[in-house]
Every structure is written in structure tokens, then in C-alpha cells.
Amino acid sequence: MALPGIFDGLNDIDAATAKRRFTVKHAKPDQLLLGEGEVGRSMACLVEGEVRIESDGAEVGRVSAPAVLGEMGLFEDSARTATVTSASPTELWVLERGGYEELRDTLHPICLNIERACLANQVGNLARIGARVAQLGLGIPTAVSPPNSFFAAVRSLFGAGGVRPSKGHALQALLSSPLFADAPQPALELVAEPFNALLCEGGQFLCTEGEEGDRMYILESGRVDIVVNMDGTPHQVDTLEAGSAFGMVSLARGGTRMASCVSESGAVVHELDREGWEFLINEPYMVGSTFRRAVIRAFGDQLRYSNTQLARWERKLDDDDGLAALHRAQRALASHDAKLAGG
């Protein structure tokens, strides 16, 4: 039996206390484990066997033990976006949200492991979706630095940029973000400390397509535009409003930005560098948990959207208009990925 790392490093007493919050369940092949559309309030650890992942009637992948399933049920009330069915005899350890909250309220060390496992699972799922997209032959290309004509066009549209320190109010920015909706304010005050406030002129690149991502941002006021390079021409795919978080995917999974984030004049953003990210993502108590839960929610939003788009691709492969539908889904997925990742 191999749990996905969530009991690693616990002493016997802490392990025993945590295990009492789990329910062990066994399933035969082809048994429904999690249903698409149902509101989840639990997470399942797959410790033996293999499962099928289906979205909107199409199989989008398979997962083998050890793995985490349905982790968003611990963090928010949202409909599950995929059906999980056993592909072989399976053993699951199920943790209800109430049990997780009890452990978190007592600062039990397993919560750090659970949250880390959920983040790792989400990053892995994003990679799995990307691999399937590439397998279909219509994947989003690896981002490369845009040509000089792209930057010249952005300057003409938005301005020459410029940034300077600002007093700002990082706590208010975090409070306005839905990612931190249920965060206790004392913990949120400490989450806000590593952020640096910046006042941006129009045309300031906060994230640049094709570059390594080493910072994330919370937008306090003003607007930031998401722009992608299309043959040297900037193409605006979305606009972020106050409370938006962006740039975190590249910090979590590495790699280059898939889009540029360009400020409009007067935008106030709060910047978190890699050192601050590493501190918050690894802090073992309530401050770190508050930050990790927000990142998990952000990634969960992207995965919900990505799974839906991938399922559409799978269903349309044999249709007469399949190629056109795939390209439409590709553009939609690229746009959404850009919003969260800053690429």
C-alpha cells in the first residue's frame, strides 16, 4: 500500500490521529467512484489500482496509485468536473472536508502534506492535459520571445511602461480576491507581508511571453491586459480586474510564460518574488495553509476549464467539422491558460 506521501515524516502519534479521519473503501472494476456534476466535499487517496477519468462522456486519462483524486472537495463547494471510475480493483482512503478542517484547526502536520500533495497533483494534471493536447497534434506551442515588432506595437497601444514603488494596501488586495474568500484575517495579514506594492504606467510588462516566470502578482486597482504574440502582432485575450491573481503557474511548475501581462496606466499591483513564494508555499502552519489553499483554488479553476475543453476535443475528433472545433477549443484554452499563468 502506498499513500501519496501524505503520511511522510509523521511520528506514530500524529499518523494514528490523522488516520482516524480517513475511511477506507474498496471498489471492483468499472465501479463509479466520483461523479461529474456532484458537489464534492471530500478527497480520495488512491492507494491501489487504476482509475479512468472521463469528462462530459469522453475519457481524458487514466491514473494509477498512488494518487490524489477530487482534492478540490476539501477547499470549496463546486461541482466535480470529471467522472472517476475504477479500471481495476482499487483501494481508496477518503477524507471528508470536516475531518480535514479539524486537522487544520489543530495545526496537525499532515495538513502541510495534504496541501502539498494536492498542489503536486494539480501540476501533474496540467502536465497530463498538455501531453494529451500535444498528442492530438494541435497543442499550444511552447512560448518563445516575441519579435521586436511585437514590443513596438504594445508600446504604441498601451504606452512605454514604467514602474515605481507604491504604498499600496496588500491586505486589501488579498481580501478582494475570491481566492482568499474564507481566509482568517490574522493569517492573511502575514501572507501580505512578502508582497511589494508597485504603481505601473501604461505598457509596463509584468509578465513577458517566452521568459522564465519568477514572480506572481495580485492586482489591487486598475487593469492589466493579457496579450499574446501572433506573428509579431499583439492580440489581447482578456483584461484582469482588481482582486485578480496572475503569474503563479510558472512559479509552481517552472517553464516559460505563455502570454504577456501588460498594465494599463495607474494599475497598482502587489508583487511576490520567488523567495517570497518559497516561504509562503512551504510555511507549515496557518499562514502557509492560507496561501496554499488560494493557489489550489486558482489551479482548480484552470483544470476545470481545461478538462472541459479537452473533452470537447476528444468528442469532435471524428466529426466532419472536427478540425475547426479543435482550433476553437485550442484558442479558448490558450486564452484561459494565459490568464492564470501570466503565461
Q: What is this structure's pTM?
A: 0.83
First to last CA, the chain: 38
Give the CA radius of gyration of the chain: 21
The two most distant CA atoms of the chain are separated, in Å, by: 63
Cell of 289: 495553509
Task: Give 182 or 224, the one with higher predicted confidence.
Answer: 224
Do 12-135 and 148-341 come out as alike in CATH topology? yes
Domain boundaries, the chain: 12-135, 148-341
Peptide bond into 146 cis (omega under 30): no
Phi, psi of 225 (to 5 degrees): -100, 140
The CATH number corresponding to 148-341 among 2.30.30.40, 3.40.50.2000, 3.30.200.20, 2.60.120.10 equals 2.60.120.10
What percent of the chain clears pLDDT 90, i.e. is strictly above it?
58
pLDDT digits (tens, 9 = 90+) for 121-145: 888 877 777 666 666 654 444 567 8
Coil/strand/helix, residue 50: strand
Q: How far, in Å, CA of 111 to CA of 336, rounded? A: 30
Q: How far, in Å, CA of 248 to CA of 253, rounded? A: 9
8 Å CB contact between 92 and 37:
no
Cell of 272: 511576490
Average pLDDT, the chain: 86
The CATH number corresponding to 12-135 among 2.60.120.10, 1.20.120.430, 2.40.50.40, 2.30.30.40 equals 2.60.120.10
Strands 67-69, 233-240: pairing is unpaired
pLDDT > 60? residue 174? yes
Phi, psi of 262 (to 5 degrees): -120, 130
pLDDT digits (tens, 9 = 90+) for 244-269: 999 888 888 777 888 899 999 999 99
| pLDDT at residue 343 in the model | 47
